[in-house]
Amino acid sequence: MPNISLDAVAPLIRKMAREYPVATKRGLWSAALRAADPGGGGGGIMAQVIADTKPFPPVGVTGAYRASWGSEQTPDGARVFTDIPYAAFIEIGTRPHWLGWNTEAGRALRLWAARKFGVDDGERVAFFVRRKIAARGTAPRWVAQRATPIIGKAAIEEVLHEIEAAA
């Protein structure tokens, strides 16, 4: 599959927007819907990119990160976003840091460890994960960065479809 950069897509979308403003906005909205999959079927572009993340998809036991992706219409078209506070840490990773044991992050880590490894108390497993994060930090997953060219291609397809329907 060819790579599509934002630098290459943006002028094409701008040209289409000048010539077919309504069709372009509808196409961008359709592409945003494809990206975020607000119906919750799990087949959206973001869900696929998250699932394809190697070596480990950033999917916790609750699936909150995957489910947090949404889309909304804007005056120019649409935007795809996530409202999870820790999304930036998944995207770009973190430096080594110590998780406070009685903080929200520490409690979430213990809950994750208990569910992930099927133990009653995830404290022992969480301690080792916490120590690894303190020594090495967390690796970046680049979910949004890897999804951007795929969403750009979907935007072009959807805009062209809307222009054909309008013609």
77 and 125 in a single domain? The answer is no
* Alpha-carbon distance values, 126 to 97, 110, 112 (Å): 14, 5, 8
Task: Say what percent of the chain tops pLDDT 70.
Answer: 92
Q: Which helix (H) or strand (E) holds 30?
A: helix 21-36
Tokens 């079927």 -> residue: 41
Same domain, 18 and 35: yes
pLDDT digits (tens, 9 = 90+) for 2-52: 455 556 677 777 777 788 888 889 999 999 999 997 555 657 899 999 989
Give the range of the structural domain holding residue 118, as residue numbers without chain letter.
Answer: 94-138
Read off the pTM: 0.80
Same domain, 23 and 37: yes
23 & 65 share domain: yes
| Cα angle 133-138-143, degrees, rounded to a multiple of 5 | 155
89-136 per-position pLDDT tens digit: 999 999 999 988 888 888 888 888 888 888 888 888 999 999 999 999
> Tokens 């000048």 — which residue?
18
Query: At 147, is the secondary structure helix, strand, or coil?
Result: helix
Same domain (yes/no): 25, 61: yes
Indicate if 56 and 103 belong to the same structural domain.
no
Domain count, the chain: 2
